[in-house]
């Protein structure tokens, strides 16, 4: 999987920044010359691949590797252009310039994977190769590289690919994008990859436990009440229909309203949760399959909620698409027994669930959905998870999910 690490460079002196700017500006100059030359040839009907001779001009500033790297990225841009040109569905323009006459060149470069090193620690730094002229001018040693302090942390660890450095004039910072190839996340024995498990429930929409010990509860009461209220209005409207008629515009509208409000709450929930998990560096999210959701230990009421409110598969699809945006893997695992097993003694048969509370003859009493998400996580990662803080409870206010003060876990309703 290819992922991108993003961080900023913080040159520690004016001289360092000056050298960096010269590298970025020379890169843009090379790009623009090559682009100008190729555009001329293209419009004259000549081959754009005949262009070279720029190497000598830039190698002593940029180093050979960076000069080649920029030429290669330019080649790729032209190749993509020609591919699109052959496709009748597109009307592409030839590659453009980095910057313009009025505002000057964009400060921008690409650094090949073997031309830089990054050390990640409390004083992280990037070192890049520069050309001999710059080394002479600024008194660098033969093999010395330009050293640039880094602000930020890598989100992904893996095989490092090329770097792109670009001056962001809005934020006034030198931003780096590092392409990284990460291995597929293994389910068990994974070191350093954090995971979370979700239990999709009836009263609590989602209970979540993470390998770093956080627990979240998204309370379904408000969205359920809205859902039920609209369901009652649908029933009323149906009762008033003439004998031959099965539906009406009003009923259809009520169904649409009911779905739209539910989808709004569920989508906002998934986004809130995934953003939270992404910020906590989670790389995998496990969710239970359906077997546990429609367990027979539930009341008729709970089953109504689970079956009609939760469009389960739709919700999982949505979860997957939000996670894809964040590069988080989603995996389904069997959640048989997870909601009924006592986390203290392992008892399954004699535990008792009343609403949200799971009790065991051994004396254990806890929130059933949290117990389930924790058990699911332990099963999936083959580890023991210890909650580090009290669970955070979230409430829906029709616009967003927000944490509720005094996050005491008690059965509600």
| 289 vs 365 by CB, closer to Zn ion | 365
Stretch of 54-62, 171-179, 240-248, 339-347 contacting Zn ion, by CB under 5 A: 339-347
Nearer to Zn ion, 8 or 347 (CB): 347
Within 10 angstroms of residue 92's Cβ, the number of other Cβ atoms is 13
Coil, helix or strand at residue 323: helix
- Cα gap 409→403, rounded to integer Å: 13
- Report if residue 342 touches Zn ion, rule: CB under 5 A: yes
364 in contact with Zn ion (CB under 5 A): yes
Size of the site for Zn ion (CB under 5 A): 7
Stretch of residues binding Zn ion (CB under 5 A), selected from 97-105, 126-134, 238-246, 335-343: 335-343
Q: Does 345 bind Zn ion (CB under 5 A)?
A: yes
Q: Which is nearer to Zn ion, 75 or 347 (CB)?
A: 347
Task: Using alpha carbons, select from 119, 69, 77 the residue that is nearest to residue 94.
Answer: 77
Residue 360 engages Zn ion in binding (rule: CB under 5 A): yes
Residue of 103, 80, 83, 85 lying closest to 32 (CA atoms): 103
Q: Helices 312-326 and 249-279: crossing angle, nearest 10°? A: 40
Give min distance, CB of 359 to Zn ion, in A.
9
- Of 180 and 339, CB closest to Zn ion: 339
Q: Which of 136, 186, 289, 344 binds Zn ion (CB under 5 A)?
A: 344
From 19-27, 168-176, 245-253, 363-371, span contacting Zn ion (CB under 5 A): 363-371
Determine if 59 is a binding residue for Zn ion (CB under 5 A): no
Asked whether the beta carbons of 198 and 209 are under 8 A apart, the reply is no
Which 236-275 positions form the footprint of Zn ion (CB under 5 A)? Answer: none
CB 391 within 8 A of CB 217: yes
Q: Does 347 bind Zn ion (CB under 5 A)?
A: yes
CA distance 355 to 350: 16
- What the block records as the tokens of 261 is 């409000």
Q: What one-character-per-residue DSSP string does 110-124 give?
A: EE-TTSEEEE-STT-
Under a CB-based contact definition with an 8 Å cutoff, are residues 146 and 116 in contact?
Answer: no
**Contact positions toward Zn ion, by CB under 5 A?**
342, 344-345, 347, 360, 362, 364
């Amino acid at each position: 999987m290819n992922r991108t690490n993003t961080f900023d460079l913080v040159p520690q002196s004016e001289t360092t920044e000056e050298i960096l700017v010269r590298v970025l500006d020379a890169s843009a100059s090379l790009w623009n010359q090559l682009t100008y030359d190729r555009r001329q040839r293209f419009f004259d009907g000549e081959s754009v691949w005949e262009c070279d001779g720029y190497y000598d001009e830039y190698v002593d500033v940029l180093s050979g590797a960076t000069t080649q790297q920029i030429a290669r990225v330019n080649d790729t841009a032209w190749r993509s252009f020609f591919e699109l040109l052959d496709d009748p569905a597109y009307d592409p323009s030839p590659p453009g310039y980095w910057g313009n006459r009025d505002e000057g060149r964009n400060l921008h470069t690409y650094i090949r994977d073997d031309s830089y090193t990054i050390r990640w620690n409390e004083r992280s730094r990037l070192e890049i190769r520069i050309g001999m002229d710059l080394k002479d001018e600024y008194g660098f040693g033969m093999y010395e590289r330009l050293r640039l302090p880094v602000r930020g942390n890598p989100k992904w660890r893996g095989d490092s690919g090329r770097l792109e450095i670009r001056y962001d004039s809005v934020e006034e910072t030198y931003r780096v994008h590092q392409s990284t190839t990460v291995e597929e996340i293994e389910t068990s024995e994974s070191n350093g990859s954090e995971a979370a498990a979700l239990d999709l429930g009836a009263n609590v929409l989602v209970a979540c436990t993470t390998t770093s010990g956080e627990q979240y509860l998204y309370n379904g009461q408000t969205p359920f009440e809205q859902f039920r209220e609209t369901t009652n209005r649908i029933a009323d409207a149906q009762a008033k229909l003439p004998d031959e008629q099965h539906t009406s515009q009003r009923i259809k509208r009520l169904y649409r309203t009911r779905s739209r409000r539910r989808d709004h709450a569920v989508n906002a929930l998934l986004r809130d949760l995934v953003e939270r998990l992404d910020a906590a560096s989670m790389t995998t999210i496990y969710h239970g399959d359906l077997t546990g959701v429609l367990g027979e230990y539930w009341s008729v009421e709970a089953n109504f909620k689970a079956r009609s409110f939760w469009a389960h598969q739709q919700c999982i699809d949505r979860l997957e698409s939000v996670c894809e945006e964040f590069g988080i893997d989603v995996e389904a695992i069997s959640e048989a027994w997870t909601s009924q097993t006592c986390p203290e003694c392992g008892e399954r048969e004699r535990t008792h669930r009343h609403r949200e509370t799971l009790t065991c003859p051994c004396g254990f009493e806890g929130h059933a959905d949290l117990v389930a998400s924790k058990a699911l996580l332990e099963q999936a990662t083959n580890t023991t998870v210890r909650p580090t803080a009290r669970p955070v409870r979230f409430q829906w206010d029709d616009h967003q999910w927000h944490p509720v003060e005094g996050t005491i876990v008690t059965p509600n309703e």
